[in-house]
Amino acid sequence: MTRLHNRPEDFADEMIEGFVAANRRYVRHVPGGVVRSTRSPEGQVAVVIGGGSGHYPAFGGLVGQGLAHGAAMGNLFASPATGQVRSVATAAQNGGGVLLTYGNYAGDVLNFDAAQEELRAAGIPCETVTVTDDISSAPAVEKHRRRGIAGDLTVFKAAAAAAEAGYDLPEVVRVARHANERTRSFGVAFTGCTLPGADAPLFTVPEGRMAVGLGIHGEPGIDETDVPTADGLAELLVGSLLAELPDGVAEARGARVVPILNGLGALKYEEMFVVYRRIAGLLEEAGIEIVDPHVGEYCTSFDMAGTSLTLFWLDDELERLWNAPADTPAYRKGSVVAAELDEIAEATDAAADAIPEGSAESRRAAATAVEAIAAIAAVVDANVDELGHLDAIAGDGDHGIGMQRGAHAALAAARDTADAGAGAGTVFARAADAWSYRAGGTSGALWGVVLRSVGEALGDEHAPTRDAVAAGVRSAANGVVAYGKAQLGDKTMVDALLPFAESLEREIAGGARLAGAWSTADSTAATAAAATADLLPRMGRARPHAEKSLGTPDPGAHSFALIVHAVGEVLVGSTDEGKEHEHA
């Protein structure tokens, strides 16, 4: 239960404001997150971390000397948008290039990868290492597919200490990869978590039961058992982790290991100490030399009651980097030589740049665009719980709230932009930015691509022709495929979007009017979305729990079908139908 909030949709922003106000010695606010408020040496590699909010101290709490240079902070449990990552990395860099490092989740990968491309295009060398410590999320042979949980800390710490020691970008990357290879975690949960304003937990664990291998956003676990004793839990955690030694560690006996017992938010430190007592005993019995153990909260999951154990298998270099001093809001070690405060004025979110005026025809189309986006927001509102439930079956349950945040932000931006005299192209472009910024996550980024593509096709000059609309939808489909790399049959929104685009093109090429063509395409999308129930997901957060989703349609494909249907109703009622015909 989250008891204290104002408007729930403002929660993440207000949390960041308060966090910065309380920690100016360490951090300053930049659009998209925070960077160190202290000056870093010229040429030092910048380590930029990030992810959704709701995991404090991950990620903003780990920014400061000896640890991260910046953190992109997304909305609650939602990846930061591409623009946010780019903005934070640009503010954090010191001329030595940027390492992006974060937990391996589909939405984060999508947005951080896109930001990496944009940074490189801007002349900033940039590399990425994703953290994949959670052994329950994929088998060892597929380690690259595993998600990142509390093991983030060891990778961030080693990479940042290397940067601080003057390593260049390829060397920092090497260290980060090596630290990730030598970090393994395993977790359990006893209750779900409830996001601010929500009246039900995101997921639940039955009373007296324990979800084994549950993800930090409620992604389903691999097993469920009765809650064991504290000693029993220690045995499960240690046993699971010792069953998979990292490459390069021949045997547990004699190895030097940092154990991190991480609380997920609602577990008491005292309970964790009781568990740790037995963990330490078991590690010693296995002949492991325990180094610098950590018991506390390093990556939480809102108010979830649960815990994970991370083992970080040291070698000389990693041990030296781990022991280097650090001073951040939530993580301190040794004593750093305090750096000077940077005198840069606090930046708030990007100043709005001027809105180009649209032609009279395009301004009329902009009014229809606003209506269409209002219809999208309304249909998402009406189905928000169902979308969340569909996503909770094999994903993380945030599809409804993510789409809702995105659609409403897009609507507000579209209204403001249209009121300022913009044409349809600019209205869609601003709506696209607002959607991807506010929604975060995979679907937020992809709906940003969709709206942006449609806006580019329509432009601000002419009344939209049906050919321009079909071309916009086609380019949206191509853009989503290029960005998300999913193919037909992977059980994503692509399975509804591609058939929709093809059907719309076919109908229009055959001479149909826009509203009629759209309605045929809309039926095609509905059928295709329903048919995703028979598919196994191969992309996104749902992938580790593929078989659980058989029989349920993909949430993103389903919301796509709902949305195009709602937009179709606006097109039927739109007075542009006659004009669109003249121009076609």
Contacts with Mg ion, residue ranges (CB under 5 A)? 391, 395-396, 398-399
Q: How many other CB atoms are found less than 10 A from the CB of residue 412?
A: 16
Q: Which of 33, 96, 107, 265 binds ligand ADP (CB under 6 A)?
A: 107
Alpha carbon distance 240, 282 (integer Å): 12
Q: Which of 48, 63, 67, 106 binds ligand ADP (CB under 6 A)?
A: 106
Using DSSP's 3-state secondary structure scheme, residue 106 falls into: helix
Residue nearest ligand ADP (C-beta atom): 556
Instruction: Work out what residue 106 binds among ligand ADP, Mg ion, none; the CB cut-off runs from 5 to 8 Å by kind.
Output: ligand ADP
Q: Which of 68, 205, 373, 539 binds ligand ADP (CB under 6 A)?
A: 539
Alpha carbon distance 169, 324 (integer Å): 19
Between the alpha carbon of residue 37 and those of residues 185, 328, 345, the distances in Å are: 32, 11, 10
Q: Minimum distance from CB of 402 to ligand ADP (Å)?
A: 4
Tell whether residue 308 is a contact of ligand ADP (CB under 6 A): no
Tell whether residue 540 is a contact of ligand ADP (CB under 6 A): yes
Alpha carbon distance 467, 134 (integer Å): 48
Q: Which of 255, 261, 446, 450 binds ligand ADP (CB under 6 A)?
A: 446
- Nearest to residue 209, comparing CAs of 196, 221, 197? 221
Alpha carbon distance 445, 520 (integer Å): 27
User: Where do we find the tokens 């928000």?
Assistant: 384
Q: Which of 399, 405, 430, 452 binds ligand ADP (CB under 6 A)?
A: 399
Q: Which of residues 556-575 bind ligand ADP (CB under 6 A)?
A: 556-557
Q: Which of residues 243-282 bind ligand ADP (CB under 6 A)?
A: none
Q: Minimum distance from CB of 105 to ligand ADP (Å)?
A: 7
Q: Minimum distance from CB of 380 to Mg ion (Å)?
A: 14
Tell whether residue 219 is a contact of ligand ADP (CB under 6 A): no
Residue with smaller CB distance to ligand ADP, 75 or 240: 75
- Nearest to residue 540, comparing CAs of 231, 161, 58, 105? 105
Contact 167, 45 (CB under 8 A): yes
The stretch near ligand ADP (CB under 6 A) out of 1-9, 266-274, 388-396, 574-582 is 388-396
Instruction: Work out what residue 554 binds among Mg ion, ligand ADP, none; the CB cut-off runs from 5 to 8 Å by kind.
Output: ligand ADP
CB proximity list for 235: less than 8 A, separation 6 or greater: 228, 278, 282
Q: Minimum distance from CB of 77 to ligand ADP (Å)?
A: 8
Please tell me the count of residues contacting ligand ADP according to CB under 6 A: 27
Name the active-site residue from 55, 69, 178, 217.
Answer: 217
Q: Which of 44, 154, 301, 442 binds ligand ADP (CB under 6 A)?
A: 442
3-state secondary structure 62-80: HECECCECEEEEEEECCCC
Tell whether residue 441 is a contact of ligand ADP (CB under 6 A): yes
What is the per-residue DSSP string for 506-561? HHHHTT--HHHHHHHHHHHHHHHHHHGGGSPP-SSTTGGGGGGGTTS--HHHHHHH
Instruction: Work out what residue 555 binds among ligand ADP, Mg ion, none; the CB cut-off runs from 5 to 8 Å by kind.
Output: ligand ADP
| 294, amino acid identity | H
To the query of whether residue 217 is one of the catalytic residues in this protein, the response is yes
Q: Minimum distance from CB of 560 to ligand ADP (Å)?
A: 8
Instruction: Work out what residue 519 binds among Mg ion, ligand ADP, none; the CB cut-off runs from 5 to 8 Å by kind.
Output: none
Give the helix/strand (H/E) hosting 223.
strand 223-226
Q: Minimum distance from CB of 482 to ligand ADP (Å)?
A: 10
Give the helix/strand (H/E) hosting 576.
helix 576-583
Tell whether residue 443 is a contact of ligand ADP (CB under 6 A): yes
Alpha carbon distance 490, 538 (integer Å): 5
Instruction: Work out what residue 311 binds among ligand ADP, Mg ion, none; the CB cut-off runs from 5 to 8 Å by kind.
Output: none
Give the helix/strand (H/E) hosting 257.
strand 256-263
Q: Which of residues 58-97 bind ligand ADP (CB under 6 A)?
A: 79
Q: Which of 493, 498, 521, 561 binds ligand ADP (CB under 6 A)?
A: 493
Using DSSP's 3-state secondary structure scheme, residue 35 falls into: strand
Give the helix/strand (H/E) hosting 100.
strand 98-103
Q: Which of 57, 215, 395, 448 binds ligand ADP (CB under 6 A)?
A: 395
Tell whether residue 438 is a contact of ligand ADP (CB under 6 A): no
Residue with smaller CB distance to ligand ADP, 82 or 443: 443
Q: Which of 398, 456, 576, 580 binds ligand ADP (CB under 6 A)?
A: 398
Tell whether residue 147 is a contact of ligand ADP (CB under 6 A): no
Tell whether residue 402 is a contact of ligand ADP (CB under 6 A): yes
Which residues are registered as beta bridge partners of 51?
A: 73
Q: Which of 492, 503, 520, 524 binds ligand ADP (CB under 6 A)?
A: 492
**Helix, strand, coil % (nearest 5) of the chain?**
50, 15, 35
Tell whether residue 51 is a contact of ligand ADP (CB under 6 A): no
Using DSSP's 3-state secondary structure scheme, residue 97 falls into: coil
The stretch near ligand ADP (CB under 6 A) out of 65-73, 344-352, 456-464, 548-556 is 548-556
Residue with smaller CB distance to ligand ADP, 361 or 490: 490
Q: Which of residues 448-487 bind ligand ADP (CB under 6 A)?
A: 480, 484-486
Instruction: Work out what residue 497 binds among Mg ion, ligand ADP, none; the CB cut-off runs from 5 to 8 Å by kind.
Output: none
Asked if residue 19 has a cis previous peptide bond (ω within 30° of 0), the answer is no
Residue with smaller CB distance to ligand ADP, 60 or 107: 107
Tell whether residue 396 is a contact of ligand ADP (CB under 6 A): yes
Between the alpha carbon of residue 308 and those of residues 161, 190, 241, 252, 286, the distances in Å are: 24, 12, 11, 20, 19
What is the per-residue DSSP string for 455-508? HHHH-SSSPPPHHHHHHHHHHHHHHHHHHH---TTSSSTHHHHHHHHHHHHHHH
Q: Would you tell me which residues interact with ligand ADP (CB under 6 A)?
A: 79, 106-107, 391, 395-396, 398-399, 402, 441-443, 446, 480, 484-486, 492-494, 539-541, 554-557
| Residue positions annotated with a catalytic role | 217
